[in-house]
Amino acid sequence: MRNALDLGGGWVVTTDNSGGIGKKAADAVQVPDELVGYFSARVTLLEQWTAGAEPIAVLLHNFSGNTSWDEYSSGIRRAFKESSLTPPPISGSTETNMDMLQSAMSVTMIGRRSRDITESGGKWFLYGRPLVGEAVIREAEKCAELGKVRAGLDEGIIDAVWPAGSGGIGAEWERLTGKPPARLPSEVAPSASAGPATAIFVRTVPGKESDAQLHFGEFFHEMG
């Protein structure tokens, strides 16, 4: 597992947070709250898949005020719908006593393990490109698509995923494999942050490398 918390008995908890990103005047990055909810849910959902789990409930922690709840919730549901999954129930809490100057929220998912993650001998690829901040919006075509990742798992093209985050592509690969990357795409620096998991390491089922290349498309690179 990556950052998932294993509670035993097949129960898995994952979480992600966002601060200073939204529609408040003091936010460092100005984007709709729906988009913030989507990307936070995206990271949390990918962490579930990394652990071989499927979410059955979502908790939304909203510090941005009552008006943001529906948009955050819409973004969370979007992440599931993009993956052709039925969104689980969403509950949580909103801070209404204090008016925050910047947006802040987090998403927590409670899931059940549905598949084992074991060594298969497949090859690891980088799908998508590292993006952070406004680049996530400006270069959206480079962002790994949740729907393709989910379809790859369901269709037996890939058997494991590992989202990359703010620590950088190189550090994430070393965390996954124990060694520095040797075959990153030429335009990707090892220190490049993947922000809200815009780039994902995926492991192909042995013999499915060509199918995976066709399935994932242009921004797909073998890591070796």
DSSP 8-state assignment for residue 155 = T
Domain 5-113 has CATH 3.30.1330.10: yes
Domain boundaries in the chain?
Answer: 5-113, 124-222
H helices present in 83-113, as ranges: none
Q: What pTM was computed for the model?
A: 0.94
Q: How many CA atoms lie within 13 A of 103 on its CB side?
A: 27
pLDDT tens sequence across 167-216: 899 999 999 999 988 889 989 999 999 989 999 999 999 999 999 999 99
Structure tokens that stand for 189 in this block: 């620096």
pLDDT mean over 127-149: 93
pLDDT of residue 121: 87
pLDDT mean over 67-76: 98
